[in-house]
Structure 1
């Protein structure tokens, strides 16, 4: 029995790691990809955004597909499509083909990822086993991106950035072989797909991100920029209207009835928006200012990655002693401090100690937040909404990263335009972008404090009322006393 559970967890974590790795494995290779396929720094953001926009935008539809067609079936279909798409990305000979196949990877990830968390929830009932499984899952989600930086840099220096895509092929084939043996199919719900909801959410998010990236190139007064941003806002408003009327929505709005769960989604969106963007800007600084190679730039994240994985062992004790809210707040505060410290970089700094120690602090903070965010996002959810809730957790993660990068690339471009074309100018632009990341993390903290504290105060007030009412209740039962 335990062996079967271990294999289920291994399959889920291996699949999730493969998907998370591909959101960052190309980051340290971006300068090389730009030179090979003739892409500017701003346009290089689409190598990331083509993947994570399709990923985040279709996650909710992927979750619904798992509910209707069976989560194991969608898990297998997603892995198969992801394997084929990875091979096509590795074969890309033009920027257009690269971006299309990266988007196809994102579509595959969107139909696979909701099933991973839903299968984990079903396979591990609430208790110590689920807590341990969530801890490992959260560590993979949180630190997998930085592992991808190291692996991508190593493969780029030694062989080619393309190999980072090709290694998904044997892994995907192996997963397809063992999935039917260990994973049981889940119960299917009757219904239909909410295509209007899926279309409006994808078009809305894509339009917003395109608008911000376009602004970096053409400016905020550009007609296409303004039109894209306006379309994004209109489509997202339409998405909410569609979901409020749909009989079987991909995003049941009842999931937002819990203040803490809503705060967990929004807080995660903002935190990842700041945290993920660092994986784009720091390698640019390391390679173009400090002269690091791709592999060295990836290794530079080891302090962050090592500490973050190390927090995996401390999290159960910390959560048991202090609770999710206090651990979450402490983690965000620590991450803000580390990011603000790192924003002081310039062309004159050295990796050690000027970047080494801030990365450790950031790793501690990030290691503290993802497990509470994940747990709060699915706690108390009814079984019928398990797929939608897990989809929202991952959608917040992916769309947050895409939106954060799109917004902060405009900060980078604004400062690089007004700086001289030198290492000092590039360093100044990266510094401003990292400070923008700290602002995202601060907004995440504000959301958690504003939305959680009233609930905590109500609970304390209820507890005090119960204590005060106890003597009165005893007197009413025994008036003679």
Structure 2
């Protein structure tokens, strides 16, 4: 097995003393917000980008796909690198790459330039992203303090996309599409300046980077992500789609065999042991698959059917974002009373109700009567659900593997979103109606089923260990 030796740092055995405060949380969550916002803020600007850089319709999709492929393929490597090299160190490296790529992308003069910088943004996101939850675990004490931090993290992860829609619309309409890239630069610089002072490093785990495992996981996840992208656009029987799925099966099977034998695997397979943590991962996968439809279909519905502008569409999503942040503030207190399993059940119920309500969409629906209620419900539901699931994953994993666990969580969510979008778009395309509202309503029927499956997983699979 090919490995690269990584010596332990001089602080390898030290335990940091001071706990994190509001600035610490703002720095860590600030980068997570950049990652979430970056997806939707660029999507809103795509028409302007196409006109300015003379993109073909086929090539335009790669402005999003290049980022998705890079992130999806490298998340496990980013998580493991943080465990071995130092989570703050890898976090800073990722922020540097992301910020430089954003600056370069803002100056793009042709399609290839912009696509390359979007892929580089994905590399930075994959390096820094897995370290965010790990740094929360290292900087905030177990209990209410950490739960509050995880609540804010969950709210940002779930609701940041709507802020991207608002910001993308405003920047595109009032300035230039280039500012959807440039806006990351001052935020990234602020994070880089504040991180050394307010975010303490975790104990480094002396060890090795499994190069073979890193290559197999990165190429395998990239192939899987590409298969979903290709299948949604060119059909599930397309030769390249089938070839990508076949390559995924071979590569990830080889990866699993290798990891079982590795002394220091890039993905410790013990992360899947135990119903509690495995159930939390599966639940996050299903919720991500269901949630992606809300952003995709409702963004198009508001603009195409209700004739909302991009800015109005983003403001409409505030009906989801505001209650999501409010629910995230309540979640730590509710967690102390109900426990993680019961709180996850309570949070999943309004998500199911929201998806069911959205199945009633028609060409004559209005925002107040048919969208406001579902957006409020899904905001409350996600705000209550994500935090206890994140807490379960962090509380049941060995400290040395927190980075790998966080990388796996984000990979699970990315794959869930990609698979969910591919399934929902395929369902909408075969809905048997030319009405987009009818197609969206059919897709939300499937999203409701996915949310119900998430509830069943919580009830029957997530099994907290009995006290004592």
Q: TM-score of the superposition, structure 2-length normalised?
A: 0.89
Give 2:152's aligned residue: 136
Q: Distance in 2 between matches of 1:52 and 1:333?
A: 30
Query: Superposition pairs for residues 55-66 of structure 1, below 5 Å?
Result: 55-66=71-82
Q: Distance in 2 between matches of 1:4 and 1:309?
A: 20
Q: Distance in 2 between matches of 1:305 and 1:395?
A: 23
Distance 1:269 1:53, change over 3 A: farther
Query: Secondary structure at the residue paired with 1:192?
Result: strand
Give 2:442's aligned residue: 432
Distance 1:256 1:184, change over 3 A: same
How far 1:95 moved relative to its partner? 4.2
Q: Distance in 2 between matches of 1:197 and 1:407?
A: 29
Runs (5+) with no aligned partner, structure 2: 1-16
Give 1:346's aligned residue: 362
Q: Distance in 2 between matches of 1:442 and 1:435?
A: 11
Give 1:303's aligned residue: 319
Query: Superposition pairs for residues 24-423 of structure 1, below 5 Å?
Result: 24-33=40-49, 37-38=54-55, 40=57, 46-415=62-431, 419-420=433-434
How far 1:312 moved relative to its partner? 2.0
Q: Distance in 2 between matches of 1:396 and 1:216?
A: 19
The one-character-per-residue Cα deviations of 1:89-147 (angstroms, maximum 9, x if unpaired) are 33334444433322211110111122222121111221222122222222222222222
- Kindly indicate whether the alpha-carbon contact (under 8 Å) linking 1:57 and 1:198 is maintained by their aligned counterparts in 2: no
Q: Distance in 2 between matches of 1:204 and 1:2?
A: 40
Give 2:458's aligned residue: 448
Query: Secondary structure at the residue paired with 1:344?
Result: coil
Q: Distance in 2 between matches of 1:14 and 1:214?
A: 32
- Kindly indicate whether the alpha-carbon contact (under 8 Å) linking 1:215 and 1:410 is maintained by their aligned counterparts in 2: no
Q: TM-score of the superposition, structure 1-length normalised?
A: 0.87
- Kindly indicate whether the alpha-carbon contact (under 8 Å) linking 1:273 and 1:404 is maintained by their aligned counterparts in 2: yes
Task: Give the structure with higher Rg (CA).
Answer: 1
Query: Secondary structure at the residue paired with 2:307?
Result: coil
Q: Distance in 2 between matches of 1:253 and 1:400?
A: 19
Which residue among 21, 30, 44 is the counterpart of 1:14? 30
Q: Distance in 1 between matches of 2:366 and 2:240?
A: 41
The one-character-per-residue Cα deviations of 1:308-349 (angstroms, maximum 9, x if unpaired) are 111122212221221111111121221011012113212221
Distance 1:4 1:359, change over 3 A: closer
Q: Distance in 1 between matches of 2:83 and 2:277?
A: 21
- Kindly indicate whether the alpha-carbon contact (under 8 Å) linking 1:27 and 1:283 is maintained by their aligned counterparts in 2: no
The one-character-per-residue Cα deviations of 1:19-42 (angstroms, maximum 9, x if unpaired) are 2211222233345445655455x8
Q: Distance in 2 between matches of 1:338 and 1:46?
A: 31
Give 1:473's aligned residue: none
- Kindly indicate whether the alpha-carbon contact (under 8 Å) linking 2:65 and 2:229 is maintained by their aligned counterparts in 1: no
Distance 1:357 1:236, change over 3 A: same
- Kindly indicate whether the alpha-carbon contact (under 8 Å) linking 1:28 and 1:149 is maintained by their aligned counterparts in 2: yes
Count how many residue pairs are aligned between Structure 1 and Structure 2.
451
Distance 1:199 1:450, change over 3 A: farther
Query: Secondary structure at the residue paired with 2:41?
Result: coil
- Kindly indicate whether the alpha-carbon contact (under 8 Å) linking 2:358 and 2:374 is maintained by their aligned counterparts in 1: yes
Distance 1:94 1:445, change over 3 A: farther
